[in-house]
Chains A and B, each alone.
Chain A
Amino acid sequence: MPEGSSKPLWVLVVILLLAVAWTQYLADPIQYRMQEKAKPTSGGGELMVQLPGQFIVASVAGFKEVIAGALWVRADTFFHAGQYEAIIPIVRLVTWLDPHNVDVYSTGAWHLDYNFVDTNQMSDKRYIPAAVALLKEGIKHNPDIWDLYFELGWTHYNKKILDYEKAVEYIEKACTKDGVDPNTGQRVPRPEFVDRMLAHMYEKVGRFDDAIKQWYKARKRVEEAIARERKKKKGGYVDTTSLDVCDRNLGLLYLRLAWRYGDMEAYKKGLEIYKRLASRKDAPAQLVEATRGAEADYARRVATNNPPRDALKPLDAGFEVTWKKVAPKVFIIKGKVNLVPASEYKDLASECFTHWYRDNQNAPPDQRKLWRDGCRIRWILRDYDYKMPELKTFSYKIDKTKTIAWDSVYVSGGTFSDRIDLSQDPDFYPFKADKYKLTIMFVPQQAECPDYVQDRIGWKGEALRDKRYLDTKTQPGFHLLRKEMVLSKKDVL
């Protein structure tokens, strides 16, 4: 041959082939970590096989995210048309195509949690496990940012029954993660409200020491955020409301610990915070008045050695409830419970600060009833053997033969009643079982139990007593009211 032997070149070919294999070997593990979908075991390949041909072509052409985006836009039109059922398969597809689109997971879960509603705007609880599974899948793909942990925590707190501890766990997890700039992808600190939310959560589950520590942490993060903002804006206006939010919440936590459980040390600390807030030039008059009231109360109690212990004084709930079928699948719930808001009590310790009783007395008669609304009583009606499934993988196909419904009824002035109509949505409430379990309960932790009720009964319902329905077992340390009934088919249909 004109240019010499090719043998040395073939040797080079082999060397290069080895180099190619070597770099592939180096890059593979990184790629798997970056692209969950590429991991052979968890099925990059299967995914390709499962997806329709045009998606393969599109993804080959590098348009996966565009397809995902286009589908997502389509989902929006379904949303506006009220076709929620059409959205969820799109969520599935979009998360397949674009497993790192955090927004799709949180929005998808939100749809499942909130948007499948019956004629009375009650959401279909059967979708909750699917929402949880979707969020968990999202976390698997996006483990390093706070967003989906937070969503999952929120779902556990607000949607799942009695899963507050789990909710705290997830929010705690969210508090260890960074956030991310949605455009540049640069790591940014997570928003401070995540930390604040954790403090609220600790308070809800009665971990007061943790709550106090968390408020200090959250406050520090807010300070840091404000400092960053100052640096960035170089003298421009910087909103510092978040700092006050932290202060007021922590101060109130201290004060409530005093009012409810008689912790005078906490009283002092809470007052210090409020005195500082009230001493500011722009302090609102209400705040100044409240602080003065609490100061006077504190001084009097110290002088007479009479710490308040409102939540430790037993309160007979006198819980009575009836559940009556008035037509097939239509019920009337009616009852009494001695859970009235603080505005009904003359001598609660918090009155010195909140003046709810006083304001209630001074209110014009037509507005008085607004002051009577208190907590909510929750009812849960479900197939006798219904257990909320734990889904390992996300699937939006639910068992449509099962029935579970819950909602809550306002307690106003110590009584409650509501008409519950489950007859209009046979899809939601098929009532196929022979036996049903009805639980009617009051849980002091639940989101709907406001501070002005807790001021009398405590965070954990410590003050609650009831001859028939007191439940101290379901949640150790907590006093719940709980009535459980078994309904036959006849009682329902």
Chain B
Amino acid sequence: MIIWSIAKTTVGDALRKKVLQIFLVVAIGLIIISLSFSQTLSFSSRAGSSTDIMLVKSFGLGLMAVAAWLISLVMGVSLIPQEIERRTIYTILAKPVKRYEFIVGKYLGAVLTLAINVAIMGVVFIAVCVFKAMGAEQPIAPEETGLPIVGMQQVGLFDWNMVWGVIMIFLQFTVLTSVVLLFSVFLTPTVNFFMGLGVYIIGVMAPLTETLSSKESQLHPVLKAFYRVIHTVVPNFDKFNVTNTLLHPETHIESMAKYTGIVTLYALFYSLLMMLLAIIIFRKKEV
């Protein structure tokens, strides 16, 4: 109950942050504007409006990721420092509140805020996708075959993959939030912002660290081991980046649900790990 109260207060506080509101509004505005995107590639035999929808989807997913990224970073870096700066933490910790309850409550609040933001964007985004798909058609046969074109086929309206996409964005940034939360226990917001940025970039380039540490890599064994450690320790944000697969689901080999399940577990374990470290440090932290 204490954790929940702290989480709720954190959500209320974060939702009223002007800068976060601006990210949200701009993102939603751009998603809606993307409705007008089209790429009429007249030379392409198969490019109908289905290609336009793909552009909208790709743009929307990317945009939501950027917005969620900014939101989690900007919100996360101030989670603990702001409480200290405002001295609210003193009144809270002077009450019979355990320090881990405070950390867990703050993280939960941040994750809830992220969930609310991503959900709002997600609903708008999916609505835009459905709207764009309405009436979209594509020719069935390529022209150059010379076969009589049987006609146009209507594309499907609701794409479940976009729901997976939104969930993946949420999961991805819960992990980033947990990393930033850990840092915010002992770093100032500005330093934390850049640390979070760095961790995110390394995490997104996970395939690179993986390549550098793989058996095939030509690097010195010590360097390889170093990259192996980096690859394991830094959150693998690339795992959540399945936009391309979602946009072209014909390449699905395994079910998206199974993959999402594993990745959800990954996000959960990683966030727990970060939270635990944050708790260990925060227990001994002087505020």
Contact = CB atoms under 8 A, between A and B. Distances in A.
Direct contact of A and B (CB under 8 A): yes
B191 interface: no
A474 interface: no
6 contacts: A1-B284, A34-B251, A48-B208, A100-B244, A106-B142, A183-B155
Most chain A Cβ neighbours within 10 Å, of B39, B147, B201, B207: B207
B245 interface: yes
Contact of A30 (B138, B258, B265, B269): B258
B277 interface: yes
Contacts of A192: 150
A106 B45 CA distance: 9
**B interface secondary structure, majority:** helix
Interface residues of B, number: 92
A452 interface: no
A76 B150 CA distance: 26
Interface stretch (B14-22, B58-66, B115-123): B58-66
Interface stretch (B4-12, B72-80, B82-90, B158-166): B158-166
Interface in B146-191: 147-148, 150-151, 155-161
Given A24-B266, A107-B47, A186 B156 contact: yes
Top-3 shortest CB links A-B: A185-B249, A45-B211, A100-B248
B19 to A, nearest CB: 19
Given A35-B242, A110-B144, A27 B266 contact: yes
Given A64-B243, A69-B59, A144-B253, 5 more contacts: A3-B99, A23-B266, A40-B216, A106-B46, A182-B53
Contact of A13 (B55, B151, B277): B277
Interface in B231-287: 232, 236, 238-239, 241-254, 258-259, 262-263, 265-266, 269-270, 272-273, 276-277, 279-280, 283-284
Given A107-B44, A193-B141, A69 B54 contact: yes
A239 B140 CA distance: 14
Interface residues on chain A, size class: 35 or more
Nearest to B66: A61
Contact of A40 (B69, B150, B214, B258): B214
Contacts of A37: 207, 244
Interface string A174-195: 0000101111111100011100
Most chain B Cβ neighbours within 10 Å, of A2, A30, A142, A241: A30
A9 interface: yes
A20 B140 contact: no
A150 B142 CA distance: 10
A285 interface: no
Interface in B20-45: 37, 39-45
A24 B239 contact: yes
A395 interface: no
Given A20-B273, A65-B54, A60 B205 contact: yes
A111 B207 CA distance: 32
Contact of B145 (A30, A64, A101, A193): A193
A54 interface: no
Nearest to A76: B41
Interface of A: 1-3, 6, 9-10, 12-13, 16-17, 19-21, 23-24, 26-27, 30-31, 33-35, 37-38, 40-41, 43-46, 48-49, 56, 60-66, 68-69, 72-73, 75-76, 79-80, 98-103, 106-107, 110-111, 114-115, 141-145, 147, 150-151, 154, 158, 178, 180-187, 191-193, 196-197, 239, 241-242, 245
B144 A141 contact: no
Contact of A61 (B62, B232, B246): B62
Nearest to B265: A23
Given A43-B211, A61-B66, A62-B62, A182 B242 contact: no
A79 B252 contact: no
Contacts of A111: 43
B276 A145 contact: no
A13 B216 contact: no
A10 B283 CA distance: 13
Given A61-B66, A106-B45, A141-B251, A184 B258 contact: no
Contacts of A66: 55, 58-59, 62
Contacts of B248: 98, 100-102, 142, 185
B65 to A, nearest CB: 4
Nearest to A59: B204
A489 B283 CA distance: 88
Contacts of B142: 106, 150-151, 154
Given A1-B284, A24-B266, A60-B201, A183 B207 contact: no
A381 B200 CA distance: 57
A33 B253 CA distance: 7
Contacts of B59: 63, 65-66, 69
A34 B45 contact: no
